[in-house]
Amino acid sequence: APGAQEFIPPSADTIDELRAAAGDCRGCELYRDATQTVFGRGDEHARVVFVGEQPGDIEDQKGLPFVGPAGRLLRKAVDDAALDPAQIYLTNAVKHFRFELRGNRRIHQTPDRVHVTACRPWLVAEFARLRPEIVVVLGATAAKALLGPSFRVTKQRGELLPWPAAAQRPEDFERVPVDRTGAVADAPAARLLATIHPSAVLRADNQDVAYEGLVADLKVAAEALR
Ligand code: SF4
């Protein structure tokens, strides 16, 4: 698979233009079985970008990120952390739904590294246009996409990390936070904060504790924006 880079028009200055181009992406095989590309959404001047893993079943059908149960929980957590939803842009590390068919049911499958790598140019292009102040990384897939395979959300969650040198072992990570304009490398004075994915709260044995942990991490981001 060629990766997403060749599907990104260098002339795409805005998120809307990127989104339109992403609709035709064939950068990896995931476009074949999914319904549609699910690109990021939110204000072009958002100060915070949330990065999840990939669209789920409902997101795939609606074409919008974070509109399923995990998205609902995330919105509540954002609210409880006193983050302004108008300042948030939501996206995913991988923009097509990966699943396995079991009967009629489409069961979520974690994207492989090859999908994350293929799709990363879209994420980088989003950062380059948005120039956020804080990137909140939700869960292991997104964390590995941006911080390398050795990053452990459980160990470093809730910490504001410098961008992009937060990887513990940069040498085992093909670092891509640069698009063809070089924009991301020198762009955001962004900092990065990792936390769990809201779907992990829904799966947790003790949902209340997991939820409080998510909110506590998001409060660190809220505090940093003041
Ligand atoms: Fe392109 Fe990403 Fe979809 Fe793969 S998952 S086809 S790289 S948009």
What is the complex's ipTM, to 2 decimals?
0.99
> How close is the Cα of 40 to the center of ligand 1, in Å?
13
Token representation of residue 98: 């990966």
39 SS3 class: coil
Query: How confident is the model at residue 146, as a pLDDT?
Result: 82
Q: Where are the beta strands (DSSP E) in 56-120?
A: 88-92, 99-102, 105-108
CATH architecture of the domain with residue range 4-225: 3-Layer(aba) Sandwich (3.40)
pLDDT along the chain (226 residues), means of 10: 87 94 97 98 94 97 97 98 96 98 95 92 87 93 84 91 52 40 48 95 97 98 94
106 SS3 class: strand
Q: How many CB atoms lie within 10 A of CB 71?
A: 20
Query: How confident is the model at residue 35, as a pLDDT?
Result: 98
DSSP for 80-94 reads HTT--GGGEEEEESS
> How close is the Cα of 212 to the center of ligand 1, in Å?
33
Domain ranges of the chain: 4-225
Ligand 1, CB within 6 Å, residue ranges: 4, 22, 25-28, 30-31, 37, 94-96, 115, 118-119, 122
Q: What span, in angstroms and rounded, lies between the C-alpha atoms of 170 and 150?
A: 9
> How close is the Cα of 225 to the center of ligand 1, in Å?
32
Query: How confident is the model at residue 178, as a pLDDT?
Result: 43
